């Protein structure tokens, strides 16, 4: 085999590998979409649905439709969701947006303290945060329940079965993001803030007017990551939110999976729906994730 043929073989192999990988990634995605468009909830061996039906989507979007109850008699009835899934959709977006915004606020200020200020037990606290973040939030489920039950008795707004209560719990998962933002702050040379200090900026003004505008890339990343994780979070949400009009998309979707009859069609439609806000957030935040935001400011 000469050199040219070798290059060709390599090209073909590389393409085959990438295409194969793509198929591997795309197949579950296509499966979910086709499950949402397939009539009935039975999952056959075919990938694409042979009988396309928009019933699941009508259900999810709150449009009443006719369903055949008895195929023999042709009896139909109107189907409409008890709690509109769109309400769950709206709950999810609300909770994720507010939590992500809160995460950025809390973790950026904490990261600033860890990156720029010197105080007793700074390294100890950082280390503790690092270790704590290794434990998934799920481990503290019982604790969350008990705490929210307690606070709910004194302040109805942040008790069990409240969205605000869930947001409070979510805001506790900031240690990962503190480390990320702290790392980013440390790449910004301190001389810029020192210059601002000489110019007369207070520490807060320096934070708001110098550091924050330069940190947009990392904030975009943190927002995207936290938004995705809260949109798809299930365990904590299912424990905290009990009544169906408080449910998030993840909890609501899971409610269709009854022991005897798993309504995959509706589940799939909700899954696809939950992907929409994530995609929108991604597209919106993308332009902030540009490198070289500090370029020109200092000589590297």
Partner 1 sequence: MSEGSVEIKELVKTYTDDRGRPTFTAVKNINLHIEDGEFMVLVGPSGCGKSTTLRMVAGLEKITSGTISIGERVVNELEPKDRGIAMVFQNYALYPHMTIFNNMAFGLQLAKKKKDFISDTVGRTSKALGLDHMLERKPHALSGGQRQRVALGRAIVRSPKVFLFDEPLSNLDAKMRVQMRSEISKLHAQLGNTMIYVTHDQVEAMTMGDRICVMRDGLIMQVADPLTLYRQPENLFVAGFIGSPPMNLLKGKVQKRDGGIFFAENAEKNALNIQLKGKLEPLAGKYVDKDIIFGIRPEHLSDEVKDPAHVPVTSTVEIAEPMGSESLVYLKGGSGNLIARIHGEHLFHLGEQVTVQLNLDKVSLFDAATESVIR
Binding residues for partner 1, rule: CB under 8 A, are: 118-123, 189, 191-192, 194-201, 205, 210, 213-214, 292-300
In contact, 56 and 265? CB cutoff 8 Å = yes
CA distance 126 to 109: 14
* Residue with tokens 């009896």, as numbered in its chain: 75
Half-sphere exposure in the Cβ direction for 85 (13 Å, CA)? 28
The number of residues making up the chain comes to: 300
E strand or H helix that includes residue 266: helix 264-286
DSSP 77: E
Q: State which residue, 164 or 212, has the beta carbon closest to partner 1.
A: 212
- In whole angstroms, the minimum distance from the beta carbon of 104 to partner 1 comes to 18
φ/ψ of 174, rounded to 5, equals -95, -10
- In whole angstroms, the minimum distance from the beta carbon of 178 to partner 1 comes to 17
- In whole angstroms, the minimum distance from the beta carbon of 286 to partner 1 comes to 19
Q: State which residue, 25 or 198, has the beta carbon closest to partner 1.
A: 198
Q: State which residue, 155 or 208, has the beta carbon closest to partner 1.
A: 208
Q: State which residue, 232 or 294, has the beta carbon closest to partner 1.
A: 294
- In whole angstroms, the minimum distance from the beta carbon of 124 to partner 1 comes to 8
Bridge partner residues of 75 (DSSP): 70
- In whole angstroms, the minimum distance from the beta carbon of 209 to partner 1 comes to 8
For the chain, what is the largest distance between any 2 Cα atoms, rounded to a whole number of angstroms? 85
- In whole angstroms, the minimum distance from the beta carbon of 154 to partner 1 comes to 38
Give me 193's structure tokens: 């803030």
Three-class SS state of 65 = strand
In contact, 153 and 159? CB cutoff 8 Å = yes
Among candidate residues 41, 71, 74, the one with its CA nearest the CA of residue 55: 41
Q: State which residue, 206 or 226, has the beta carbon closest to partner 1.
A: 206
Q: State which residue, 39 or 195, has the beta carbon closest to partner 1.
A: 195
- In whole angstroms, the minimum distance from the beta carbon of 51 to partner 1 comes to 56
Q: State which residue, 73 or 295, has the beta carbon closest to partner 1.
A: 295
- For 120, residues 6+ apart whose C-beta sits below 8 A from its C-beta are none
């Amino acid at each position: 085999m000469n050199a040219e043929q070798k290059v060709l073989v390599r090209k073909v192999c590389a393409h085959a590998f990438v295409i194969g990988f793509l198929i591997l990634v795309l197949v579950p995605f296509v499966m979910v979409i086709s499950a949402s468009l397939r009539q009935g909830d039975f999952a056959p061996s075919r990938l694409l649905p042979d009988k396309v039906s928009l019933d699941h989507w009508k259900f999810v979007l709150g449009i009443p439709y006719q369903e055949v109850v008895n195929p023999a008699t042709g009896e139909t009835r109107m189907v409409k969701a008890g709690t509109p899934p769109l309400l769950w959709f709206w709950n999810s977006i609300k909770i994720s947006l507010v939590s992500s915004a809160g995460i950025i606020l809390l973790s950026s200020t904490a990261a600033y303290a860890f990156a720029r200020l010197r105080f007793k037990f700074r390294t100890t606290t950082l280390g503790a945060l690092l270790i704590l973040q290794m434990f998934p939030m799920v481990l503290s489920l019982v604790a969350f329940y008990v705490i929210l039950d307690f606070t709910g008795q004194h302040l109805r707004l942040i008790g069990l079965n409240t969205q605000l209560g869930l947001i409070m719990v979510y805001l506790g998962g900031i240690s990962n993001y503190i480390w990320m933002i702290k790392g980013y702050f440390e790449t910004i040379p301190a001389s810029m803030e020192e210059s601002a200090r000489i110019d007369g900026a207070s520490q807060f003004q320096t934070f708001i007017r110098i550091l924050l505008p330069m940190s947009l890339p990392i904030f975009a990343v943190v927002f995207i990551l936290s938004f995705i994780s809260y949109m798809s979070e299930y365990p904590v949400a299912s424990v905290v939110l009990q009544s169906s009009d408080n449910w998030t998309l993840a909890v609501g979707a899971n409610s269709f999976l009854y022991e005897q009859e798993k309504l995959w069609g509706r589940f799939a439609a909700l899954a696809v729906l939950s992907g929409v806000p994530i995609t929108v957030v991604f597209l919106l935040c993308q332009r902030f994730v540009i490198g070289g935001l500090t370029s020109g400011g200092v000589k590297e």
